[in-house]
Amino acid sequence: MKAEYKEVITRTKESGGILDAMLALQEKDGYLTREAVEALAKEFDMFSSEVYETASFYSMIKLAPPEGKTEILICHGAPCHVAGSAEVIAAVEKALGIKIGETTKDGNYSFGYTECLGQCQAAPSLVINRKLYTDMTPEKVTELLKGGLDK
């Protein structure tokens, strides 16, 4: 086991448990690697399959690397839908030339759904490379995609 994995797991194990450990390890590599799963299993006295079962329950835990360099995930919850996520989705699709669930041909962007982001008061919400954006509109997301992501 990598020493860095052990340190992250030890630090998060006491304060938050396996979910916090998964999120911290995911932050390192962009997703939960096989080696990270094995380290979690060992430290939490679980089978690797149990760690995978737990991780697969949560939409914010990624078990594979993102397909695009920039990953855009829009909340799939009812409050975001009611607040206009369909219009935001249409704006992203138009700006990138892809549909939700696809990756641009150049591999720069992938676009998909995520479950509730817990920001219902500021809907619709989306996450771009693990950074939360709230109160989104078609205009705001178009501006972000035109270059505001690097700022």
Amino acid 151: pLDDT: 41
Last residue of a domain, one of 31, 57, 83: 57
Last residue of a domain, one of 15, 31, 57: 57
Position 65 in a domain: no
Position 85 in a domain: yes
CATH of the domain at 125: 3.40.30.10
Residue 103 pairs in a beta bridge with 110
Please state, in angstroms and rounded to a whole number, the distance separating the CA atoms of residues 62 and 69.
14
State pLDDT tens for residues 103-139.
999 989 999 998 888 899 999 999 998 889 999 999 9
Phi-psi label, residue 82: left if phi above 0, alpha if psi -120 to 50, beta otherwise = alpha
101 and 33 co-located in one domain: no
76 and 136 co-located in one domain: yes
76 and 50 co-located in one domain: no
Residue 71 pairs in a beta bridge with 110
Provide the domain count of the chain. 2
State pLDDT tens for residues 58-88.
877 888 877 888 989 999 899 999 999 999 9
45 and 88 co-located in one domain: no
Domain that holds residue 20: 3-57
E strand residue ranges, 54-150: 70-75, 109-114, 126-128, 131-133
Percent of the chain with pLDDT over 70: 97
46 and 114 co-located in one domain: no
Model-level pTM greater than 0.85?
Answer: no
